Amino acid sequence: MKNAMNPHFKKHILCIGAGYVGGPTMAMIAHKCPDYRVTIVDINPERIAQWNSDRLPIYEPGLDEIVRSARGRNLLFSTDIEKGIQESEIIFVSVNTPTKTFGVGAGMAADLQYWEKTARQILKSATSDKIIVEKSTLPVRTARAMERILFSENNGVHFEVLSNPEFLAEGTAIRDLEAPDRVLIGSRQTEKGLEARQQLADIYANWVPQERILTTDIWSSELSKLVANAFLAQRISSINAIAALCEKTEADVSQVARAVGMDTRIGGRFLHASVGFGGSCFKKDILNLVYICRHYGLNEVANYWQGVIDINEYQQEHFVVTMLNAMFNTLAGKRICLFGFAFKADTGDTRESPAIYIARRLMEEHADLVITDPKALDNAKMDLKDSKGNVCFVDNPYEAASGCHAIAVMTEWRQFRELDYERIYRSMVKPAFIFDGRNIVDHQRLFETGFNVYPTGKPVLTHL
Ligand code: UDX
Ligand code: ADP
């Protein structure tokens, strides 16, 4: 059946929030469902202008092609939120939900102000029935709060709220969206709830196999998202905790991870020891989980999950202390090159990147910093703009490392594996150090080149 609002399209979909989640997800829906018109709106006009330009606001492999194929056909970017709401039957909400920085729950609970404003705007502008899809990661029972706002006026418009958490990871967003492990849809178990759920499932059914579309009640869906992220982060903290033990005992964490991960009950993924996890989700979601558990008096459960964050913070500080100890207990006036600033490879995103904490700590030790990253230098500049200390940003890694006392690998960019480290070694101050927070370089080879090599969770290789 064609849509009454615009006969060319079966349905009109709106997404509020054109960020890392909303942008790629809607681009994929538009790409896979030419029958649906997908409009993405945002309060930030610059962001929308970028989405409409040749230089998209986020870097994500494969995204450019998908946006280009659908933009102007059935994918539109706009700042007219009111019109967008009026013209659509299904509204995805993917505005940001950072951790609160003030008041009750500061540093723990999600800051729902953007999200509540969106709910109020939908209520104000809607003149016909809507399905509202919660896409942002939110604390459990947020859908209920949204319903309360939406049902607060009796204006004859019916809103059906669904939870449809997004599981994509940055850097692999397009692959994850194209072939998701699962799509999760939470709805009320009423007739209208089930009907709305079916409408959303019909969209995904255009490319996702039926058996991968899971349906649950709303709260289970909301909680599943927090728990999936908490489990993934827990694996990283677990292996990082073992990395610290390996460093003391001269075991090799990669070999331990391999042996452990080959147990099919455990599995080998997300067991790479590192300088710590970053990204906008893991810490925020675990903090939410901890906050909810405390709210319900489940203090032991809250402490258990808090431990995952504590180990992550320990890991970052441990990295700085290792550098300090190795470099004769002083970094003052030494030039240190950070290889990478993004929280992971293949993204320009630096939110919660361990590199931010480490850069600040190194500056506190009065080190001079040179930062290089293929995609994240603009964000790095913003992250460090208020920091006191000497820091410069250099595109070319050879230039960046030249004249430095040490290199610290922060991000696992493939480019950093493939550099000519003999050339880099020759250009550095001796003794030259490399601290590999991602275990990506060839440690033995670099040692033979002359470097003092400090991997993560493996024996050090030093000439001193
Ligand atoms: C995560 C979830 O994977 C995704 O499902 C959810 O929708 C959003 O949060 P993202 O944060 O984009 O995705 O990236 P992810 O690949 O999970 O990596 C998170 C952090 O963990 C990165 O800093 C990464 O470098 C680090 N990491 C990952 C490790 O240190 N070791 C590993 O073995 C895996
Ligand atoms: P995520 O990683 O969850 O996608 P981002 O910060 O990348 O988060 O994106 C969230 C987007 O939501 C931002 O572009 C922001 O401008 C937008 N946004 C926040 N509040 C509103 C609102 N009330 N209406 C429309 N867009 C909003």
Task: Please state, in angstroms and rounded to a whole number, the distance separating the CA atoms of residues 335 and 406.
Answer: 7
Token duo for residue 367: 């080190």
Catalytic residue numbers read 281
Q: Mention every residue, 6+ apart, whose C-beta is less than 8 A from residue 281.
A: 137, 229
Least confident of 68-72, 150-154, 448-452, 457-461: 150-154
Q: How many CB atoms lie within 10 A of CB 19?
A: 20
Interval 285-343: pLDDT, tens: 999 999 999 999 999 999 999 999 999 999 999 999 999 999 999 999 999 999 999 99
Domains of the chain (ranges; CATH) run 11-208 (3.40.50.720), 224-464 (3.40.50.720)
Residue list, ligand 1 pocket, CB within 6 Å: 166-170, 229, 232, 236, 270-272, 274, 277-279, 281-282, 343-344
| Nearest-atom index, ligand 2, CA of 44 | 16
Token duo for residue 268: 């080998």
Q: Which residues of 83-120 are buried (b: 16+ CB within 10 A; e: fewer)?
A: ebbbbbbbbbbbbbbebbeeeebeebbbbbebbeebbe
Task: Please state, in angstroms and rounded to a whole number, the distance separating the CA atoms of residues 255 and 381.
Answer: 37
| Nearest-atom index, ligand 1, CA of 271 | 33
Sign of CA dihedral 23, 29, 33, 35: negative
Phi, psi angles (nearest 5°) of residue 390: -90, 120
* Ligand at shortest distance from the CA of 228: 1
pLDDT at 184 > cutoff 60: yes
Question: pTM for the full model?
Answer: 0.94
* Substitution site in 274, 289, 316 for ligand 1 pocket (most atoms within 8 Å of beta carbon): 274
Task: Output the CA–CA distances (angstroms, integers) from residue 332 to 210, 325, 364, 383, 416, in the order listed.
Answer: 59, 13, 9, 22, 26
CA 210 to chain centre: 27
Task: Please state, in angstroms and rounded to a whole number, the distance separating the CA atoms of residues 116 and 148.
Answer: 11
* Substitution site in 232, 235, 258, 284 for ligand 1 pocket (most atoms within 8 Å of beta carbon): 232
- Going by CA atoms, what residue is nearest to atom 27 of ligand 1? 277
User: 70 pLDDT band (50/70/90 cuts)?
Assistant: very high
- Give the residue among 103, 144, 136, 310 at the shortest CA–CA distance from 225: 136
- The pLDDT of residue 232: 98
Least confident of 36-45, 151-160, 332-341, 404-413: 151-160
Q: Are 384 and 391 in contact (CB under 8 A)?
A: yes
Strand order in the sheet with 213-217: 75-78, 36-41, 11-16, 90-93, 130-134, 159-163, 183-187, 213-217
Token duo for residue 267: 């599995």
Interval 11-25: pLDDT, tens: 999 999 999 999 999
262-265 contacts, C-beta under 8 A, 24 or more apart: none
Q: Mention every residue, 6+ apart, whose C-beta is less than 8 A from residue 401.
A: 337, 339, 370, 372, 407, 424, 427, 428
| The residue type at 85 | I
- The pLDDT of residue 1: 46
| 36 bridge partner residues | 11
Q: How much is the mean pLDDT over the chain?
A: 95
